[in-house]
Structure 1
């Protein structure tokens, strides 16, 4: 059991308890059975919601991309269109998270539709996230060195928080490189294909992450998604080269992609407490307490944490629950749990409050490390 951090004597916003680094001994008292009973009716996904929400988000996003491309540079119209394109396509892209949680063999048409109208043109086909994210929810993986979606920001150097956001500037370029240069080489060099799948085919935050090789029944799917994503890139670039599409479209895509990754980066920083510096295994209750809910405003907060992700701690408590049920689950548990103190310990008042707390803890951890040295 680790001692509480001496983070400027930081206390949890909900409980007033000292902030902890790593494991949470108090998690053993979490009323998990009672929580499961209260939400047992909220597990069925509604296909109509998925199809309608995604289709509208993608259509709005791509429509705004077209407007931004045709508008005069730096005009108010272009700026507004870039904002709308970013928010629309960001919401559409985040459906990749829901796809990762679909049971095998379900929503297959939705996955293909997602790839065709968002995943592939944004160069993030569904396979780049599926298994990686499911591993993130496994008790034996969450928060450990094998978890590509976890870095112990709260007990590390603060500059790494800044670097995590700044790296979004180069992500679009890396995606273009991945599918226009590396992808063709993977088709003719099997060993290189395996290397790229392990080291350059995952939507993660830990660049040292090495992805397990695909299972036999996944190889063809991964390969096809790679090929078709590359085709999207080559066709678009070819049409630009021939003058059918303006090169300005590439610039708009690049800017929108940067903005999406910056926005998602801020959301990611607020999604967990990131205190597991020892990279110990955690129980499900400890995993919940190392995650964050930010109910905020259902309309404004949903812009930076779309598709249910403002209830990220509750999602980690019930990872198979569809996104459209998470808000109802959160407020039901808050109201009906006999003792909701531990449940609310994962709640933060806002995005900025969550990121600020992470920053304070990282600074305090650095001071402690300097004193120890």
Structure 2
């Protein structure tokens, strides 16, 4: 039987009713998870950059990649929690992860939230959506592998473009509107950067000074080149894994028109248990992406509990059960198979409803 818009509304109501007691974030969980992730990230990096053993270096590097990816993924949570729900967490995350990786929280705050606006999801105004299932296999592979260059991109932004932008007003406007958002839609323009926000300005300056400190220490010989190359490699691999995860977060079938609520939900993907590996490549709740779109305010540490309740309580023909995939490779394979048989659009092309 075909599903109607009322089905998704009913599903949302059922989901809220079943998970109402899970909506409050646990600040202790956030802090412990972040501190452990940061310790493993930096510890693994230091060991990989100093050990004389190839085997130990590879294992330490892998641990650092996964921990960096997990730590960086908390930028998503920062867009959905208030400061009073996890006091100091936003500042702590920026100090431990955001600024050192030159990817401060300003680059997702005010951006990711637009992805959840019902009238923008999947349209040309959505910063996190492209009709990827209509790409060619080659352009889709390009989308995946370009993520390896992300560390170079944020370094250029922090070390070159940010300081120059304070001297050249048009460049400052360009940096704010086009280079201050983690997006996959290259046409997205930020609408919320006109007013100066002290916290965001401080983050920008901190990334600028950090990048110059790293460059100066490397040139002066205080920081071994091996440290820099190891850090870039770890960061690149983490962003590559995230890009692969991004490819399976949605089905990417929309061509730019507005979508109904049930279409938005069914375009999103869960990769729930029994797939345990998804906790590594889709950490901090990202493996429950469809559930997150259903209940955006549900904190990441309660998504597993919520999924278990919904999976048990909802009937087999519910929309909810149609949003799951078995695993990363299965979902990636399905996407590449679809692009091989569907009509394609030019790279970055889309049929906007606007």
State the TM-score, normalizing by the size of structure 2.
0.92
Question: Which of 184, 187, 191 is the equivalent residue of 2:170?
Answer: 191
3-state SS of the aligned residue for 2:21?
coil
Task: Please name the residue that 1:51 is paired with.
Answer: 31
Task: Please name the residue that 1:305 is paired with.
Answer: 282
Give the distance between the partners of 1:221 and 1:193, measured in 2 at CA: 17
Task: Please name the residue that 2:312 is paired with.
Answer: 335
Task: Please name the residue that 1:315 is paired with.
Answer: 292
Task: Please name the residue that 2:351 is paired with.
Answer: none
| Residues 222-371 of structure 1 mapped to structure 2, 5 A cutoff | 222-277=200-255, 279-297=256-274, 299-366=276-343
CA contact (8 A) 2:122 2:259 kept: yes
Task: Please name the residue that 1:204 is paired with.
Answer: 183
Give the distance between the partners of 2:285 and 2:139, measured in 1 at CA: 27
Give the distance between the partners of 1:249 and 1:264, measured in 2 at CA: 23
Task: Please name the residue that 1:9 is paired with.
Answer: none
Q: Deviations over 1:262-321 (max 9, x none)?
A: 1001100010011101x1222333211110000144642111000011000000000111
Q: Deviations over 1:352-372 (max 9, x none)?
A: 111122112211113899xxx
3-state SS of the aligned residue for 1:121?
coil
Question: Which of 158, 179, 195 is the equivalent residue of 2:158?
Answer: 179
Tell me how large the CA RMSD over aligned residues is: 2.1
CA contact (8 A) 1:288 1:313 kept: yes
1:155 aligns with 2:134: yes
Equivalences, count: 344
Question: Which of 92, 96, 114 is the equivalent residue of 1:135?
Answer: 114
Q: Which moved more, 1:283-292 or 1:345-354?
A: 283-292
3-state SS of the aligned residue for 2:227?
helix
Q: Deviations over 1:202-230 (max 9, x none)?
A: 111122322224253x5322221110011
Task: Please name the residue that 1:164 is paired with.
Answer: 143
State the TM-score, normalizing by the size of structure 1.
0.87
Task: Please name the residue that 2:123 is paired with.
Answer: 144
Cα drift, residue 62 of structure 1? 0.5
Give the distance between the partners of 2:274 and 2:100, measured in 1 at CA: 31
Give the distance between the partners of 1:328 and 1:367, measured in 2 at CA: 39
Alpha carbons of structure 1 residues 367 and 271: separation in structure 2 relative to 1, 3 Å: closer
Q: Which moved more, 1:97-106 or 1:157-166?
A: 97-106
Q: Which moved more, 1:338-347 or 1:227-236?
A: 338-347
Give the distance between the partners of 2:114 and 2:344, measured in 1 at CA: 33
**Structure 1, unpaired ranges of 5+:** 1-16, 18-23
CA contact (8 A) 1:333 1:340 kept: no
Give the distance between the partners of 2:316 and 2:18, measured in 1 at CA: 13
Give the distance between the partners of 1:66 and 1:299, measured in 2 at CA: 28
3-state SS of the aligned residue for 2:233?
helix
Question: Which of 83, 89, 95 is the equivalent residue of 2:62?
Answer: 83
3-state SS of the aligned residue for 1:81?
helix
Give the distance between the partners of 2:15 and 2:24, measured in 1 at CA: 17
Give the distance between the partners of 1:308 and 1:274, measured in 2 at CA: 20
**Structure 2, unpaired ranges of 5+:** 347-354
Cα drift, residue 339 of structure 1? 4.9
